[in-house]
Amino acid sequence: MRFGVNYTPSVGWFYSWLEPSWDDVRRDFDAIAALGLDHVRIFPLWPLLQPNRSTIRQQALEDVRTTVELATAAGLDSAVDAIQGHLSSFDFLPSWMTTWHRRSMFTDRDAVDAQARLVGALHEALADVPGYMALTIGNELNQFADRPHPTPMTATPDDVTAWLDTLLGTVPGGSAGSRGSAGSRGSAGSPGSAGPGVAVLHAEYDAAWYLDDHPFLPTHASRSGDMTAIHSWIFNGTGQTYGGLSEQSVRHAEYLAELSRAFAVDDSRPVWLQEVGAPLNCLAESEVADFCEQTVRHAADVPGMWGVTWWCSHDVARSFADFPELEHTLGLFDEEGKPKPIAQRFASVAAELTSAAAPSAPPPRTTAVVVPVDENDVPLRRSDAAPGGGIFTRWIELAAAGERPALVTSADADDAARLEARGITSVVQPAADGRSVYAAVSEDPSLAIGA
């Protein structure tokens, strides 16, 4: 397994892309590497990369390249997000996407073509840099497509499929056929199709799994791109309802990863816990390190788990205004750059799980809870899979009783060959009395809506 961190610059947050301080970046990367972590996820800002629809700034591409080179020099591999998009409750859309020029990033052909050019240009700028390991289309861009966003860019699932196929297909080796279409029952792609060691993927927040009628589907997440990215946050109703150290909370990431495996068509498809953190609106500060350790250990037990990337490296400075309070506390390092207790715990667990004594792969999970789906593999009610729903409730009951439960769609539950391929010997129906407690909040709990 791989263990890394989502890189939030210690000086200037992501506003530092306006005028990078390479000495500060070097210091940050050296501190991250000193923990024994092996990679960072990097977030350049879309308006700075592409301030006009027809313009991609060469200097901005060079700044991203320099950042990746500095990470490599510190002994860290780099995953880069192309379109930001959305970070820590703030939207970063270029002016040609908003107000008088407002258009949908998912359905406007000119906008989609511009995004595709940016994805291709960013990959080309990085392709020969040692340590460049992954390109993600963007950070939780599905939050623009539906509630609770105040001005959503409405799209249909077919629109999302076309958008993903276009952007993923921009990178060499990234055609929809080689990477797997969301509607395909064929084999998905594998890491490295964009070049040696480079995976190309997309990442959504949990509305794709839990929010009824959301245009991004579980099949999009589990069948398009080289890997499945999981973003697990317990401020979605889980932590508030059950408690921060409850089984429901410390196993939430494990559950989401298993839910993704139910919709994958390639049993060997890697799952990347790309974003998970310890929010203090659900946890006492004294509980944070324990939450981290338990979450990581449970996630590591998921077959196909590629790695864990913690959110985030450094606390947001309190000199910045209008951030949700928890954003100032999520880092492994405090505002002065000192490692917090959670940093030491995460590093210790990572070292243990990557040691030679650690098991190389978890055994199959033999019992699976059924996820009812329609003829297109779309869940009949995604809220049933959400925290508190009948599917989630039954899975947690089994896990708390000592089982290692999986999940399986109702289509695969009737397919003996599929069950055998996954090592599943018994299927269990969802709880009849489950009720969702999910709130679709993206990265800002203040935007919560009821499920």
Confidence of residue 440 (pLDDT cuts 50, 70, 90): confident
Residue for token digits 């990679």? 39
Q: Could you list the beta-strand ranges (E) of 289-405.
A: 305-310, 367-371
CA 241 to chain CA mean position, Å = 23
Residue 185 pLDDT greater than 60, yes or no:
no
Q: Could you list the beta-strand ranges (E) of 23-103.
A: 39-42, 77-83, 86-87, 90-91
| 243-257, 320-334, 345-359, 368-382: range with lowest mean pLDDT | 345-359
CATH no. of 2-353: 3.20.20.80
Q: Give CA–CA dist 350/273, Å, rounded.
A: 13
308, 276 contact by CB (below 8 A):
yes
| 89-103, 165-179, 353-367: range with lowest mean pLDDT | 165-179
Round the average pLDDT of the chain to a whole number and report it.
92
Residue 95 pLDDT greater than 80, yes or no:
yes
Strand 86-87 relative to strand 90-91, pairing: antiparallel
- DSSP H helix total and E strand total for the chain: 17, 13
Residue 359 to residues 306, 362, 363, 404, Cα–Cα distance (Å): 14, 7, 10, 16
Residue 174 pLDDT greater than 60, yes or no:
no
Phi, psi of 381 (to 5 degrees): -145, 105
Please tell me the predicted confidence (pLDDT) of residue 85: 85
* CB neighbour list of residue 348: distance below 8 Å, 6 or more residues apart: none
Where in the chain are the domains?
A: 2-353, 367-447
Query: How many percent of the chain have pLDDT more than 90?
Result: 88
Please tell me the predicted confidence (pLDDT) of residue 183: 45
Residue 194 pLDDT greater than 50, yes or no:
no
Residues in the chain: 451
Phi, psi of 6 (to 5 degrees): -75, 120
174, 193 contact by CB (below 8 A):
yes
Side chain identity at 257, as an amino acid letter?
A: A
Q: Give CA–CA dist 140/163, Å, rounded.
A: 14
Confidence of residue 361 (pLDDT cuts 50, 70, 90): confident
Please tell me the predicted confidence (pLDDT) of residue 442: 63
Mean pLDDT to the nearest integer, 51-60: 98
57, 50 contact by CB (below 8 A):
yes
Please tell me the predicted confidence (pLDDT) of residue 196: 57
pTM for this predicted structure = 0.94
Mean pLDDT to the nearest integer, 282-296: 97
Mean pLDDT to the nearest integer, 22-51: 98
Please tell me the predicted confidence (pLDDT) of residue 426: 96
Side chain identity at 347, as an amino acid letter?
A: A
Confidence of residue 177 (pLDDT cuts 50, 70, 90): very low
Residue 357 pLDDT greater than 90, yes or no:
no
